[in-house]
Amino acid sequence: MIKAQERLVESVVAVVNDKPILLSEFEQAWHLQVASLEGEISDEEGLKKRLIEHLIMVRLQNESAEKNGIRVNERELNSSIDVIAKNNNLSLKELYSQAARQGLSIQAFRDNIRQQLVAQRLQQQLFGNRIQISDTEVNEVLARENQLNDPMEYQFKTLLIQPDKNNKQAWQQAKDTIAQIHQDVLSGQSFDEAIALYSDNSEGFGNSNLLWQDSTSMPDVFHKALLRLDKSQLSQPIQTGRGYFLLQLIDKQFKQKIEAYQYKLEQITLPIGSYNEQEMMQIEEYIERELNANARSFAELAKKYSKDRYATYGGETQWLKPNDIEPALAAQLGKQAIGNTLHKIFSQQGRLLYRLVDKKQYDASEEVTRQQIKQQLTYFKVQSEYQEFLRNLRLRAAVQINL
C-alpha cells in the first residue's frame, strides 16, 4: 500500500490550488514542445521549468474560466474544429492526420482547441466588452498607412518580455533580458526556443498560426522594424507600452486583393439562456425534420422558436456585411452555396440554424481595412490587460512544484 502511494506521489509534477498536474500531462506537453523545436534545444532544464509554468498557468486559467461560468461543450468544440478544417480546405480526417504528424493524438488536438476557446472566451468576458476603440484611433492608423503606402504584407513571430507596468526596476530588467536574448539568438539559439523559454505573450508556446498582416494590422513600431528585415532576420529590441519585443520575419508578399460579400440569410437562433442543451437538440432535430418533409415553412419555424431580432420577419435577414457577421459564420458562408441546405453553427448568442438565401460581391476595401485596424488595436489592449490578470492569478495561487 505504501509503495502504491509513493508511485502516485511520484506521478505528480505540480499541485495548483490542491489540484495535481500529472507527470503524463507534462510528458505529453514536453514531447510536443521538443517536436515543435525539431530537436534544437540548448537549455533543456530551463525549457522544462518554463513548460511547468505554462501548465500551471493553463490550470489557473481554466479555474478562472470555470468560476466565470465559461465552458466549451462537445458540440461547440466540434463546430469550431469543423470551421478550422474548412478554413484550411481539409476534411476532418485530414486535419487529424496533420495533427498526428505534429505529435498530437485526436484527443490531445481536441483538448488543445478547447483550451484555446476557453482562453478566448475568458479574455472576451473579462476585458473585451469594456475595451472600446474610437474612430479617431482608427483614422490615425489609416493616415499613417496612407503616408507609408506599403504594398506588402508580412508573416512574423514575436517574443515579448512584459514587466510590471508600474515598476521602473522591472522595466530595466526587461530591457536587459531582451538584449541578452537578442544576442543569444544572433549567436545561434533558435528563435522558437527563445520564445518557449522567455516569451510573456499568450502565444509563447506556439506562434504557429502565422497570419498575413499589413501595416494597418500591427503597431507602427512593428511595421518600421519589419521594413528593415529580410526573411528569417531578427529585429532589434522594440519598446512598446506592453514591454520589449523581438520580431522575426518569416515571409512577405504583395497584398492580396480584398474581396468581400454581402449575404442574406434565413436564420433561427436558439440562445443558450433560453434553451438547455437537450432542448436545443430536440428543437434542432424537429426543425430539420419539418423542413426536409416540407411540412412547415422556415418562416413559421423561425417565428415560433427563434429568439433574435429577425424572428418576427420569419428569420429573414437584411443584407449582412462582414462587420455584421461573426468570424466563424463568415468563414463558413464564404464556402457555401445558395440554396435550401440547412447549416448549423454555434454563435456568440447560441445555436444558429440558417440557410444562405443570396450573396453578392461589393467593394469592401476601406471597410475591411478599418475592421482589421480595430481588431488589432483591441487585441493589443486586451492582451496587455489579460497578461496582467494572469500574472496576478499566479501570485495569488498556492503552487507546489515537484519536478
Q: Would the pLDDT of 334 be above 70?
A: yes
Q: 232, 249 in Cβ contact below 8 A?
A: yes
d(CA 141, CA 145): 6
Average pLDDT over residues 136-148: 81
pLDDT-derived band at 158, boundaries 50, 70, 90: very high
Fold for 146-257+368-393, please state it: Chitinase A; domain 3 (3.10.50)
SS percent in the chain: helix, strand, coil, step 5: 55, 15, 30
d(CA 380, CA 390): 15
Average pLDDT over residues 330-343: 89
Residue 308, pLDDT score: 92
Residue with cell 506521478: 11
Residue 77, pLDDT score: 92
Share of the chain above pLDDT 90, in %: 51
Q: 344, 284 in Cβ contact below 8 A?
A: yes
- From residue 399, alpha-carbon distances to 18, 55, 318 in Å are 8, 12, 53
Asked if the 260-362 domain carries CATH number 3.10.50.40, the reply is yes
Residue 381, pLDDT score: 85
List the single range of 100-114, 148-162, 192-206 with lowest mean pLDDT: 192-206
d(CA 165, CA 31): 34
Residue 5, pLDDT score: 47
d(CA 365, CA 387): 33
Residue 202, pLDDT score: 58
Residue 210, pLDDT score: 67
Per-residue model confidence as pLDDT tens digits over 5-58? 444 445 899 999 999 999 988 998 898 888 878 767 888 999 999 999 999 999
Per-residue model confidence as pLDDT tens digits over 281-295? 999 999 999 999 999
Residue with cell 482608427: 138
Question: For the chain, what are the domain ranges?
Answer: 2-128, 146-257+368-393, 260-362
Residue 288, pLDDT score: 94
pTM of this prediction? 0.62
d(CA 223, CA 199): 20
pLDDT, greater one: 4 or 374: 374
Per-residue model confidence as pLDDT tens digits over 346-372? 887 788 999 999 999 887 777 777 887
Tell me the CATH number for domain 2-128: 1.10.4030.10
With vertex at residue 308, the alpha carbon angle to CA 307 and CA 314, rounded to the nearest 5 degrees, is 90
pLDDT, greater one: 251 or 384: 251
Q: Would the pLDDT of 88 be above 90?
A: no
Average pLDDT over residues 123-152: 83
pLDDT, greater one: 5 or 308: 308
Per-residue model confidence as pLDDT tens digits over 205-245? 444 456 788 888 888 899 999 999 999 999 999 999 889 99
Residue 371, pLDDT score: 80
Mean pLDDT, the chain, whole residue set: 87
- Bridge-partner residues for 213, per DSSP? 154
Q: 303, 314 in Cβ contact below 8 A?
A: yes
Residue 208, pLDDT score: 46
Residue 108, pLDDT score: 86
Average pLDDT over residues 386-396: 91
Same CATH fold, 260-362 and 146-257+368-393?
A: yes
Is the alpha carbon torsion for 337, 338, 340, 342 positive or negative?
positive
Residue 280 half-sphere exposure toward CB, CA atoms < 13 A: 21
How deeply is 37 buried, as exposed, middle or buried, from its count of CB atoms within 10 A (0-12, 13-18, 19+)?
middle
